Each structure stands twice: as structure tokens, then as C-alpha cells.
């Protein structure tokens, strides 16, 4: 699998996900503002990948700070961190990564700029490596929920490309496959960005895991015909009560799954849980541009001037979620109690 993001000398390079699968193109970030632009413009996307990119972006930003004192260094660093925080609002992994990087600077009071820059670079490398390891652990826990011969529906792309590598929802799929289970995946195409068609199908085909793509609106009918055994998605933020923010369309998949008595699993690292928010309605949902709905590529297909609503995420209430798969194990309902317990372990 092509790496989602990596250091290339003093720069960061990421595979340009807007162009996949037709072209494998590298997008180079020479400064932290390039990273912010890449996150906002969907060059890199997916909650854990956004977190990793933010951490690396802060290390890159810190590299250019020319401060004479520690106080001046941390002041400048925090300004960059504030800018980074605004890149995209829904995935809490971004805030998690910014806080972790800021912690490094705060713990190095009085040290030289050179020392802090090196520590930040190392921390960003650790965050990337840990993310991959976390996904592998999540995969091992989650694969126990996947029976041999299962057909799994997934929405959006929660794969290697949405993370540092291996994936969350697709990490579970990969682990089941690696454990010899004969599985098939049905990928919702995931309008408007087509992450399911362009990225999930691409990743699974590369791994030799059977995959079929469906139009988003075909999921309900297939469930009713008993052609789907379980659903696994990723998450952008999980509230303390287990409500899940994920790609727009996830909510309707979850409701359909419950109606058809199909388990609906969410695979996400603990960094996606936001214990500061009690309920899902408190999660900020990004609204994106009208052109994403009205255009296909550069071609305008909608009537000029038509009103458009384009929420990029939705909230699935916890009552539709069967279990949350994390790197520390599987969280079952009641979520308020069990999420708290796992976070405190
Ligand atoms: O807008 P995107 O492509 O960043 O949305 C991505 C998703 O909604 C994913 O399902 C989520 O981030 C989990 S990725 C492991």
C-alpha cells in the first residue's frame, strides 16, 4: 500500500487523494500552511490521517521559528497550533494531535529552539508509527466480530489512506482476511467525494479482498435481501455517550442496519473519542462548498444558482451502534459507563 504521508528530508509528502485512483501523485508541503491547505482541500483526509498530518505540520512549522527565547518560541508555536486547529472542525484527532505536540513544547521549558524542534519532529514520527500500530491492534480485536463467509458493508474510506496506515474499519477487514476468513466487502460509493468508490475499492483491490461498489441508495435494499451480514465504519468523533460523527450517510446506514437486525460496528482509535462532549449534537459538523454537489469533477451538472446543502458528516445516535472497536478492546453498551471505564484504564 502506498504510504499516506511521510517525511521526505525537511518536507512532508502525502499522496494526493483527490487524484486517486487514476493518478498516484505526491503533494509536497514545505511549510505548515501547505499542510493546512492540504487538509482543507482533501489532499489528505480521514480523521486519524488528519491528526498525523497536523502533528507533522506543527513540527514543520516549528522548524521555521527563529525565536531568541523559550517564551518567544512557545508563543510563536501556539499561534501556529491555533491556525492548525481551524483546518477542519469535525475530526477530533486534529485537536488531539495539536494538544499532544503542544505538550512537548510545554514540557521543554528553558530548552533551546534546536532541542525543541528535534523533539517535535520525533514526536510526529512517533504519532505516525503509533497510529499504524493502533490500527493493527484494533484489527485484531475487531476481526473476532467478523464471521467466516461474511459480507461487510462499509461507508466512506476508513482505510490505510484515512490513517497513518492499515486503517480502522478496513483494518478490521484486513485482519479478518489475514486470519484466513473468506470475506467480501460492499463499499458505498459515498457521494459527493466518492471515497468509497475511489479509495476503499482501490485499497481492497490492491490487497486482493473481494469488493463491490454500490450507489449509496442501494444499501437498504441489499440489507433487506439479506446480502449484508454486518456493517463497519470509521468515525470522526465519538461523544462520551457513544454518539458517532462520521461521513454523511452513515446515520441512514445505521438506521437501516438496525431495522434489518444487522450489527453496526464502529472502529476508531481512542483519540477519536471526545469525552468533553456529552452528546453527538454538540459535535461541530463541517459544511462544505456547493460545487461538491453541483459538479462532477469540473463539469457542472446542477442548474446554475440552485440552493445546495452539503454537510460533510452526520451524527449516528449511540442506540444504533452495536459496539465500538478500539485498540484497547471492544466497547459494548452501555456506552457512557464503558467508554469512561476504558478511557480510565
Ligand atoms: O471527509 P473525509 O473524507 O475526511 O471523511 C472521512 C470519514 O468520514 C471517515 O469515515 C472517518 O474519518 C474515519 S477514517 C479512519
Please report, in tens digits, the pLDDT of each residue of the chain (345 residues total). 889 999 999 999 999 999 999 999 999 999 999 999 999 999 999 999 999 999 999 999 999 999 999 999 999 999 999 999 999 999 999 999 999 999 999 999 989 999 999 999 999 999 999 999 999 999 999 999 999 999 999 999 999 999 999 999 999 999 999 999 999 999 999 999 999 999 999 999 999 999 999 999 999 999 999 999 999 999 999 999 999 999 999 999 999 999 999 999 999 999 999 999 999 999 999 999 999 999 988 899 999 999 999 999 999 999 999 999 999 999 999 999 999 999 998
Note the pLDDT of residue 111: 95
Note the pLDDT of residue 1: 82
Residues 51, 97 contacting (CB under 8 angstroms): yes
Note the pLDDT of residue 177: 98
| Binding site membership of 39 for ligand 1 (Cβ less than 6 Å) | no
Note the pLDDT of residue 297: 85
Distance 107 CA to ligand 1 centre (A): 32
Q: Report the nearest-CA residue for atom 15 of ligand 1.
A: 158
Residues 50, 38 contacting (CB under 8 angstroms): no
User: What gap in Å lies between CA 85 and CA 148, rounded to an integer?
Assistant: 42
Q: Please identify, by atom number, the ligand 1 atom nearest to the C-alpha of residue 91.
A: 12
Other Cβ atoms less than 10 A from the Cβ of 42: the count is 17
Note the pLDDT of residue 137: 98
Is residue 236 annotated as a catalytic residue, yes or no? Answer: yes
| Binding site membership of 154 for ligand 1 (Cβ less than 6 Å) | no
**Could you tell which of 17, 38, 45, 52 is best to mutate to test the pocket of ligand 1, judged by most ligand atoms within 8 Å of the CB?**
45
| Binding site membership of 168 for ligand 1 (Cβ less than 6 Å) | yes
**Could you tell which of 18, 247, 248 is best to mutate to test the pocket of ligand 1, judged by most ligand atoms within 8 Å of the CB?**
247
Note the pLDDT of residue 73: 97
Q: Which of 34, 236, 243, 274 is catalytic?
A: 236
Amino acid at each position: 500500500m502506498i504510504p499516506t504521508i511521510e517525511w521526505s528530508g525537511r518536507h512532508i509528502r502525502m499522496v494526493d487523494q483527490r487524484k486517486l485512483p487514476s493518478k498516484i501523485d505526491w503533494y509536497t508541503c514545505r511549510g505548515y500552511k501547505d499542510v493546512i491547505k492540504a487538509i482543507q482541500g482533501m489532499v489528505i483526509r480521514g480523521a486519524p490521517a488528519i491528526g498525523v498530518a497536523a502533528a507533522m505540520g506543527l513540527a514543520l512549522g516549528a522548524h521555521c521559528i527563529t525565536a531568541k527565547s523559550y517564551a518567544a518560541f512557545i508563543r510563536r508555536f501556539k499561534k501556529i497550533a491555533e491556525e492548525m486547529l481551524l483546518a477542519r472542525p469535525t475530526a477530533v484527532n486534529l485537536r488531539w494531535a495539536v494538544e499532544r505536540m503542544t505538550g512537548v513544547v510545554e514540557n521543554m521549558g528553558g530548552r533551546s529552539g534546536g532541542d525543541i524542534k528535534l523533539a517535535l519532529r520525533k514526536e510526529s514520527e512517533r504519532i505516525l508509527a503509533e497510529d499504524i500500530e493502533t490500527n493493527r491492534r484494533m484489527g485484531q480485536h475487531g476481526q473476532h466480530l467478523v464471521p467466516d463467509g461474511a459480507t461487510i458493508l462499509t461507508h466512506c474510506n476508513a482505510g490505510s489512506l484515512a490513517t497513518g496506515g492499515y486503517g480502522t474499519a478496513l483494518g478490521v477487514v484486513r485482519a479478518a482476511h489475514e486470519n484466513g476468513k473468506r470475506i467480501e466487502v460492499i463499499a458505498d460509493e459515498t457521494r459527493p467525494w466518492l471515497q468509497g468508490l475511489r479509495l476503499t475499492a482501490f485499497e481492497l483491490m490492491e490487497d486482493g479482498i473481494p469488493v463491490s461498489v454500490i450507489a449509496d441508495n442501494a444499501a437498504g435494499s441489499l440489507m433487506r435481501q439479506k446480502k449484508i451480514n454486518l456493517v463497519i465504519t470509521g468515525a470522526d468523533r465519538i461523544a462520551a455517550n457513544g454518539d458517532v460523527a462520521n461521513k454523511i450517510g452513515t446515520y441512514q446506514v445505521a438506521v437501516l442496519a438496525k431495522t434489518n437486525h444487522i450489527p453496526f460496528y464502529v472502529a476508531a482509535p481512542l483519540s477519536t473519542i471526545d469525552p468533553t462532549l456529552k452528546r453527538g449534537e454538540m459535535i461541530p459538523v463541517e459544511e462544505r462548498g456547493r460545487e461538491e454537489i453541483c459538479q462532477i469533477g469540473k463539469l457542472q451538472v446542477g442548474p446554475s444558482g440552485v440552493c445546495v446543502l452539503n454537510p460533510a458528516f452526520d451524527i449516528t445516535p449511540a442506540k444504533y451502534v452495536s459496539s465500538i472497536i478500539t485498540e484497547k478492546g471492544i466497547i459494548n453498551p452501555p456506552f457512557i459507563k464503558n467508554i469512561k471505564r476504558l478511557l480510565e484504564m
